[in-house]
Structure 1
């Protein structure tokens, strides 16, 4: 059906502006749409596979026939009648054109047809390989080469879905049983304790490998292994009671330093400063070696120096010190290093593309005697540069380990041909990589799809509709993953899932969108317009008024002495600056006026008339390339469009914040739940159905990578392409990539990573 009865008139869907589809969808859920023929309730369908249409949601019966088009009133006529003349409908000359037509989803065309080629095992056989095969553990020829090549350095390029874990565990078992190597002379390094545990558990199922032998293998993360070495040789210095385990402990030290530099904790991004300090340490850059690239880095470098001095005076250490401390121990005591070189014969390093400088140097030091280093990784999945990871260590492995054998695992056992070919086409755009192509083992002839929602709100609605359709057909919630570039990208999807009955969980402990610093600060003005004595709201607006938190106590006293509200007390603050005091006197009527405005108009007033725009420019999310304060406010505008007044928006914000906390608790109890995750957190996992949000320039690739490319640095852009590659290769059956027409209220352009992919018209 293309017609419906709405607001006392008949509307025709082709005559409705595309930007109003989401409102029609929501009003349909409220029972405000009905069939113009039978009068039954109808809703607007917004999904991926079918065009938008009205349908009878309470009945499975066939839809009524549409009324003739001339009987349906157009919602937005192009002309009006006046004085007997037809005049064009007025349109603001500054309004951005949003009259966009609906664009149907497109399947991607796969360039090469699938041809099944038998994957052959190596002709080389030995006793333990035969035992593995008898136990049902088989390998293709490249996998078997990786398992049995045990002498000298070995680089295993393990593509997505190539059976990497099977190869690693089989190689470990092979060295133990075929070569009769003592278990405690092997070091198996993984990037998570969970991965190490899973490998040991799987290892015990291999022929002849018993639990006590598997437990003697030195395995774990870099931090856990090298911390044990430190603890063994100097327990007093490295005892756990001296470890700064919690983020707040580390933050406290840098905040103490920040006070001496007059850095207000409500204005300076201390969490980002600690992240930068960690990056410098993992890159083995000590405080004296820092070369700041901005004023923010200059401040952070001073905090870094104070942070290290305070730790030294107090005898404290953090997690990054474990690796740096072990490196220093080996440099200062070469005889001790030699004893460990003699003890360990074989090294197996997982996720080698994510290794950082200090980790790399430690492995080079320990393996110098035998050179038996097996590095397993995929340069196409290196996505952790912000933590100091550097894929160049994998790319230059053969230079640093002369004579290294390179084995490529290029058979994908996870995804069908259609998804694997799409992933190959995407990653081929990168130049800094080992040249390789993954091959699929099967085809199911279902093509990956691009779909084109109007904006973030409609994107979330279309995905929810598709989820519900597939679950009705027998799929389980846990079969689905919805992946996004940065945490703010999940806002609309979270809200849509929260209002549905589907179980879902967040794969990261991120704050609610409405609790983000810039969003919370702007909404605080709305809260004060509703309640002038909201003390938390007063605290939240002080930074944007360029007032220190110490002013809060003065405001409390002023409120009592003058018997006025906390908002009114702001007009009595004495700062010593006439301009600022004059601005504070005008604050009260301006804040009160917000209650009468729509949320969008109120946001604009706070930004322009109350100076919030200037505050964003000065502070923003300083030091954070990924998430800017101005972007958060653009996201807020998109969210605010559907509310009539600021009270409704505040109620919604509070509800979503409470839901965010609840989902964190409930998500831990739900095994069968839809997954909402950043692409980074999805790495190493797999799902039947994968939806990738926001595949447009500015989102994926991110703005910061585009800025870097414009300045001649293409490395961030290549990492962004690897991110999309990782997202695509999580899909085991079907892949859906969203290409919104508008993002953050502005016209968007499809991701440049997709432009080379041929579509089926």
Structure 2
């Protein structure tokens, strides 16, 4: 046993070893990107199990994605600690809710809603409120924020007073829709994912027998990605603990990118105040990225300064962990300025083709963007270059038709004993579904089907090699059981092809080569970042993107949306001081041109008198001064607004007021970023109507 314990600790650095051998809590691990936090905590659990300090069935490790939980379970099995539970907060809570519901509540547990949109639409119809798909999406996000922040429909108006209500609605209307949605769920005997946590919290809070049983079951807790814990998840964790302190948390405040969902780093940052005797270990040795990538990531965080002229300049910015690269030197990050979005996508596809031709596997390359709407240009460019790709965040792997068919065939074949190696057998069986050792020449659905089947064959090979290294057998039945478990937890294998994903979806992943695209003002930071907290979150999001790269890193932006359009875009302010100085006659940086003017009293831009009314302030001129907008553009905007309001069956002013349309016609914004600065244009309206407005204001221009 001692020899195996030594093997568990072998290969850990000093800080990771300190984590692994600190078996009693409270323990706070501040772990930077790429520093081996999963390795440290899984080896800690395994070391505790093998030394007899932990009983496997009494350890609960929780994280935030099914993929991360699946990876943790796999590592624990390989370390001989397979009895440990590793789940997401929702999965752990649902399991407890299903078990305790009959005795605590009685009857059958309600069904769980996969998507809120249909029920929210019914809730809106009951209130005779017209909604479209975008409104329902925004409402769903707002309801989720309220519930994980532990706010009821009755308390929403007060709790959300500092938030911009979604979809152009007012707080009272959102509150009514929230309550109506809750009523629809009750009528249909349904609950949503947030209810799973809320109901588990309620049962633990009110039924001491249930609470005592769970606390006797689980004695030790490990929480990964602790910077993303919501108030509701923290409340559930507190009830699980029941006043005990056998807790290990792992996180990095610099990777907080889900504040809009209710996540907060406050629990991580306040851990030592809550547990004064807690041990703190910092993991800063970056094993993922080259020194060049690490240096850029460090500089991005170090360059943070309060944004001039924006609210909330006193927002706390905790000192970031300064990473220390452990890998050999690599190429410098590349910076590319392109004429337009099409040219940028073509440039990226060309660079990817060069990397693939040089021997880099497509699956080890990613293109990351701020919004999912940016993916289309890169899908087309990669397809034109004959490069396979996968969209992360699309259909789940185990829900694909070919994957379901493959598992059925593998399960049927597993009933017949054979000595043939599982990887070879798997390939032979799946050949009837379209698997071949070499990629097909065709693209589209044929290529996607082949990539899915190839991922299954590759997984069979990886598992067979892993079991052989441990001296264990591996039969086809074992592989089918592994697939069933992975399907239950959505722990998908790696699919061949370049990954296209949003920066948010890339959290927790890594690739040899990463292309960060669309890094222009209005996209990074996003146009609706309006205060210091918003700009800080955008900076952290770019940091997450940078730290996904192991070796190759490319950062690019375009000057225009469409070919031939006006070059109105500017590189992201976050690149100031990071990218090379722009070439030009003067060689001067354009950073100074982007400095904002200090805020002051609102004055008429013509006569400089104080603006007295909201309409005057929105227009930027007083009522006595003549307008300087194009009346034809204003009338086009009014005609467009009338059609939109009639289609949505809402008053015209709900879309935009006359004052806002006048302000648009006078400001003549050239892009989304400029339009966002027009008073009366909020985040939801910008997303819904922004491009239509720009097409009217700039016919034939970059928005056309």
TM range (shorter): 0.5 to 0.7
> Is 1:693 equivalent to 2:517 in the alignment?
yes
Distance across 1 between alignment mates of 2:275 and 2:109: 39
| Equivalent residues of 2:93, 2:196 under 8 A apart | yes
What corresponds to 1:752 in structure 2?
573
> Is 1:156 equivalent to 2:29 in the alignment?
yes
Extract unaligned runs of 5+ from structure 1.
Answer: 1-126, 512-658
Extract unaligned runs of 5+ from structure 2.
Answer: 305-315, 397-442, 455-494, 584-704
Distance across 2 between alignment mates of 1:195 and 1:463: 29
> Is 1:722 equivalent to 2:540 in the alignment?
yes
- In structure 2, relative to structure 1, the CA distance for the partners of 1:750 and 1:758 (3 Å cut) is closer
Distance across 2 between alignment mates of 1:510 and 1:715: 33
Once the two structures are superposed, what CA deviation does each residue of 1:204-248 show, in whole Å capped at 9, x if it has no partner? 222xx2xxx623x2331111111222222223868887223332x
What corresponds to 1:304 in structure 2?
178
Distance across 2 between alignment mates of 1:240 and 1:352: 33
RMSD value, Cα:
2.6
Post-superposition offset of 1:357: 0.9
Distance across 2 between alignment mates of 1:286 and 1:663: 47
Once the two structures are superposed, what CA deviation does each residue of 1:476-533 show, in whole Å capped at 9, x if it has no partner? 222211100001122211221233311111112299xxxxxxxxxxxxxxxxxxxxxx
- In structure 2, relative to structure 1, the CA distance for the partners of 1:238 and 1:203 (3 Å cut) is farther
| Equivalent residues of 2:288, 2:327 under 8 A apart | no
Distance across 1 between alignment mates of 2:347 and 2:325: 29
What corresponds to 1:245 in structure 2?
113
Distance across 1 between alignment mates of 2:325 and 2:46: 27
What corresponds to 2:194 in structure 1?
320
Once the two structures are superposed, what CA deviation does each residue of 1:189-212 show, in whole Å capped at 9, x if it has no partner? 122233223222222222xx2xxx
Post-superposition offset of 1:434: 4.0
> Is 1:509 equivalent to 2:394 in the alignment?
yes
> Is 1:254 equivalent to 2:72 in the alignment?
no
Distance across 2 between alignment mates of 1:721 and 1:693: 15
Once the two structures are superposed, what CA deviation does each residue of 1:115-145 show, in whole Å capped at 9, x if it has no partner? xxxxxxxxxxxx85x6444468321111111
| Equivalent residues of 1:253, 1:310 under 8 A apart | yes
| Equivalent residues of 1:230, 1:238 under 8 A apart | no
What corresponds to 1:204 in structure 2?
77
- In structure 2, relative to structure 1, the CA distance for the partners of 1:267 and 1:176 (3 Å cut) is closer
Matches within 5 A, 1:186-201: 186-201=59-74
Post-superposition offset of 1:446: 1.4
Post-superposition offset of 1:663: 7.8
- In structure 2, relative to structure 1, the CA distance for the partners of 1:726 and 1:428 (3 Å cut) is same
- Count residues in correspondence: 473
**TM-score in terms of structure 1 length:** 0.59
> Is 1:235 equivalent to 2:105 in the alignment?
no
Distance across 2 between alignment mates of 1:331 and 1:241: 18
Post-superposition offset of 1:163: 0.9
SS in 2 for 1:447: coil
SS in 2 for 1:681: coil
SS in 2 for 1:375: strand
What corresponds to 1:53 in structure 2?
none
Distance across 2 between alignment mates of 1:758 and 1:482: 19
SS in 2 for 1:269: helix
Post-superposition offset of 1:329: 1.0
Distance across 2 between alignment mates of 1:724 and 1:382: 11
Post-superposition offset of 1:662: 8.1
SS in 2 for 1:756: coil
| Equivalent residues of 1:504, 1:667 under 8 A apart | no
Once the two structures are superposed, what CA deviation does each residue of 1:128-175 show, in whole Å capped at 9, x if it has no partner? 5x6444468321111111111122311111111111111111010111
| Equivalent residues of 1:152, 1:370 under 8 A apart | no
What corresponds to 1:37 in structure 2?
none
Distance across 2 between alignment mates of 1:686 and 1:159: 14
Distance across 1 between alignment mates of 2:327 and 2:496: 27
| Equivalent residues of 1:253, 1:307 under 8 A apart | yes
What corresponds to 2:281 in structure 1?
407
Distance across 2 between alignment mates of 1:268 and 1:238: 38
